Each structure stands twice: as structure tokens, then as C-alpha cells.
Amino acid sequence: MIELAYIIAIALCLARAIFGPSFADRVVSIDTASALLIGFIAYMGVYLDLSYLLDIAFVIAILSFIGTIVVSLYMKGSLK
């Protein structure tokens, strides 16, 4: 049942990313969707007792953090 809640939450975040009124709303919704995805992968790793899924969640978290930093620098105007 919790899997369905994760899937619905991620779908709502992605819908907000597609139909968001501003660029900042889209960035926040994608960041939220990636955090939910990380949580879902970590949950499935523990639930299924597959430790490599936790490694995958960790790599996605690092890439998501770097992506958020890059987008925030772009929005600030430091990257052009």
C-alpha cells in the first residue's frame, strides 16, 4: 500500500513540474519528486533485502543535490 502512495506522490510532483506556472515551481517539484524516488528506492531496498538498491538511492541523492546546486546557480545568474 505504501508503494501506491509513493507512486501517486511522485506522479503529482511530475504533473506540477509539467504544468507549473514558474521555473522555480518546476525546480522545486522535480527536487521533491527525486527525494520521493530516493525514499521509495531505499524503502524497497530494505523491504526486499537488496542492499544494492541503497547504493543506487545514494547515487541518485548525490546527483540530485548537484543538479539542485547547478540550477540554483543558474537561476542566480552565476552560470551563463
Nearest to 6 by CA among 28, 29, 37, 27: 37
Residue 60, domain extent: 2-76
Confidence of residue 20 (pLDDT cuts 50, 70, 90): confident
Q: Which of the listed ranges 16-25, 28-37, 70-79 does the model predict with the highest average pLDDT?
A: 28-37
4-14: pLDDT as tens digits = 999 999 999 99
Closest to 75 in 3D by CA, of 2, 12, 25: 25
pLDDT at residue 80, rounded to an integer: 66
pLDDT at residue 14 in the model: 95
* The model's pTM: 0.87
Instruction: Give every CB contact of residue 3 below 8 A, 6+ residues apart in sequence.
Output: 40, 44
Q: What is the pLDDT of residues 29-52, one digit of tens each?
A: 999 999 999 999 999 999 999 999
How many domains does the chain contain in total? 1
Q: Name the DSSP letter for residue 49.
A: T
